[in-house]
């Protein structure tokens, strides 16, 4: 029997990790495609026939003295709020998925098999996260664009406030970068807790803490607009901040609660009142500053995840 000659100068072709990722996680990717299709369909329906039916009922049933909501108006509003809720839950779903998948692979030891076939631990983690991240980013971008389309074309005078947390997130770049933070958090949680459920739970908890902290800090990420006058006067549909009294020197003090007492106002040297607020024009400055913070946080968490992996596989 003649042995086959092997050219020592020919290096083995590296495994195509992206195909492996698609094959292993096709169920999750199909689920993601279904979610994007469902949310997009709901938003398109609300933008088209849903808005037309709600607008017609609003003009017919609602007056200056009140409004009796019809099923068409309720469905229109429900489609909008349900789509927002699903967009808001995407970062948690991503964090749980990433944490559970990485913990499962590390717990079962299947990663070491990949590492013995010419795939380094760093490349394994990067490919495992990168391909789903690209697909999630693409789907999130589609949902954000459709949400903005519906929000901007709002034809029924209902209170859709730009500063509401769900609307603020779904209406801009935060809905795209928060899932990226979810991938990073899941990658770190999956290595810290090598059990599927505990890793997923830890990832969700950390993601919740991050989003809550950023939402609390959001109003302070951009300078407030200020209005002064004889009373607390601000434009409509604004995010309110602090308010108080203004003295004759222009100083801002706490409201002494004098109401209409001229003597009380004079005793406290109050000449008017001020209000701090964010108008609708502050949407993009606030959105972009928070987006930048989220991306920086994502980079830090990813760096920690890769550093931990390299140390454990050195």
Higher pLDDT, 175 or 17: 175
Three-state secondary-structure class, residue 234: coil
User: Has residue 4 got a pLDDT over 50?
Assistant: no
Close Cβ partners of 278 (under 8 Å, ≥ 6 residues apart):
163, 219, 222, 224, 225, 238, 239, 241, 286
Per-residue pLDDT tens for 35-85?
999 999 999 999 999 999 988 888 887 766 667 778 888 899 999 999 999
Three-state secondary-structure class, residue 196: helix
Domain boundaries, the chain: 26-60+69-221, 239-278
Per-residue pLDDT tens for 181-197?
999 999 999 999 888 99
273 in Cβ contact with 220 (< 8 Å):
no
Average pLDDT over residues 24-38: 90
Per-residue pLDDT tens for 166-178?
999 999 999 999 9
**Per the structure block, which two tokens stand in for 109?**
């030891």
DSSP 230: S
Q: What are the CA-CA distances from residue 23 to residues 103, 123, 190, 258 (Å)?
A: 18, 17, 20, 70
DSSP 3-state helix, strand, coil percentages of the chain (rounded to 5)?
A: 65, 10, 25
| The pLDDT value given to residue 160 | 87
Higher pLDDT, 154 or 303: 303
198 in Cβ contact with 102 (< 8 Å):
no
* Polymer length of the chain: 314
| The pLDDT value given to residue 166 | 94
46 in Cβ contact with 154 (< 8 Å):
no
Per-residue pLDDT tens for 244-280?
888 988 898 888 888 778 888 888 888 888 889 999 9
Close Cβ partners of 151 (under 8 Å, ≥ 6 residues apart):
160, 162, 167, 171
**Per the structure block, which two tokens stand in for 282?**
């502050």
| The pLDDT value given to residue 6 | 46
Count the Cβ atoms, other than its own, within 10 Å of residue 270: 18
Provide the pLDDT confidence category of residue 26 given band limits of 50, 70 and 90.
confident
| The pLDDT value given to residue 117 | 61
| The pLDDT value given to residue 313 | 77
Close Cβ partners of 257 (under 8 Å, ≥ 6 residues apart):
none
User: Has residue 302 got a pLDDT over 90?
Assistant: yes
Q: What b-and-e string marks burial along 206-232, b requiring 16 or more CB atoms within 10 Å of the CB?
A: bbeebbeebeeebbebbebbebeeeeb
Average pLDDT over residues 99-126: 74
Q: Give me the percent of the chain exceeding a pLDDT of 90.
A: 53
């Amino acid at each position: 029997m003649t042995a086959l000659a092997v050219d020592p100068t020919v290096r083995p072709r590296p495994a195509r990790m992206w195909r492996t990722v698609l094959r292993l996680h096709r169920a999750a990717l199909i689920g993601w495609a279904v979610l994007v299709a469902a949310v997009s369909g709901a938003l398109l329906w609300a933008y088209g026939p849903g808005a037309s039916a709600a607008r017609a009922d609003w003009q017919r049933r609602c007056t200056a003295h009140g409004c009796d909501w019809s099923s068409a108006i309720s469905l229109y509003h429900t489609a909008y709020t349900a789509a927002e809720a699903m967009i808001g839950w995407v970062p948690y779903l991503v964090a749980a998925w990433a944490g559970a998948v990485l913990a499962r692979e590390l717990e079962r030891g299947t990663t070491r098999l990949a590492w013995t076939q010419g795939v380094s631990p760093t490349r394994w983690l990067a490919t495992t996260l990168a391909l789903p991240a690209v697909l999630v980013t693409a789907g999130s971008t589609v949902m954000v664009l459709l949400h903005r389309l519906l929000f901007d074309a709002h034809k029924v005078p209902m209170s859709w406030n730009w500063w509401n947390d769900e609307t603020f997130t779904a209406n801009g770049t935060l809905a795209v970068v928060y899932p990226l933070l979810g991938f990073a958090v899941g990658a770190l949680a999956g290595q810290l807790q090598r059990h599927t459920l505990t890793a997923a739970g830890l990832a969700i908890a950390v993601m919740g803490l991050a989003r809550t902290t950023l939402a609390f800090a959001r109003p302070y990420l951009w300078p407030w607009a200020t209005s002064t006058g004889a009373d607390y006067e601000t434009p409509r549909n604004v995010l309110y901040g602090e308010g108080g009294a203004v003295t004759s020197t222009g100083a801002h003090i706490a409201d002494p609660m004098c109401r209409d007492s001229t003597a009380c106002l004079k005793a406290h040297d109050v000449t008017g009142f001020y209000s701090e607020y964010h108008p609708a024009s502050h949407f993009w400055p606030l959105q972009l500053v928070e987006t930048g913070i989220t991306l920086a946080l994502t980079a830090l968490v990813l760096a920690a995840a890769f550093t931990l992996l390299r140390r454990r596989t050195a």
